[in-house]
Amino acid sequence: MTDPKPVDSLAGQEELRPLDALCCPDDAKARIAGAVRTILEALGEDPAREGLNDTPRRVAEMYLEVFGGLYEDPREHLKTQFSADRHQGAVIVKDIRFHSMCEHHLLPVVGRAHVAYLPAGGRLTGLSKLARVVEGFARRPQLQERLTDQIARSLEEILQPAAVLVVLEAEHMCMSMRGVRAPGSSTVTSIARGVWAEDHAARQEILSLLRS
Binding site for Zn(2+): which residues? Answer: 102, 105, 174
Task: Find the catalytic residue in 45, 76, 81, 103.
Answer: 103
Task: Find the catalytic residue in 77, 102, 135, 150.
Answer: 102
Known catalytic membership, residue 24? no
Known catalytic membership, residue 103? yes
> Do 113 and 96 contact (CB within 8 A), yes or no?
yes
**How far apart are alpha carbons 40 and 189 in whole angstroms?**
35
Task: Find the catalytic residue in 61, 104, 157, 198.
Answer: 104
Residues at the annotated binding site?
102, 105, 174
- Total Cβ atoms within 10 A of residue 58: 12
Query: Crossing angle, helix 55-66 and helix 28-42, to 10 degrees?
Result: 120
179, with CB counted inside 10 A (0-12, 13-18, 19+), is: exposed
User: What is the DSSP pairing of strand 91-102 with strand 141-142?
Assistant: parallel
Residues in Cβ contact with 129 at an 8 Å cutoff, skipping those fewer than 6 apart: 77, 78, 80
Known catalytic membership, residue 135? no
Task: Find the catalytic residue in 105, 145, 156, 169.
Answer: 105
> Do 33 and 59 contact (CB within 8 A), yes or no?
yes
User: What is the DSSP pairing of strand 124-125 with strand 187-194?
Assistant: unpaired
Q: In this structure, is the dihedral angle defined by the CA atoms of residues 52, 33, 139 and 102, taken in order, positive or negative?
A: positive
Which residues are known to be catalytic? 102-105, 144, 172, 174
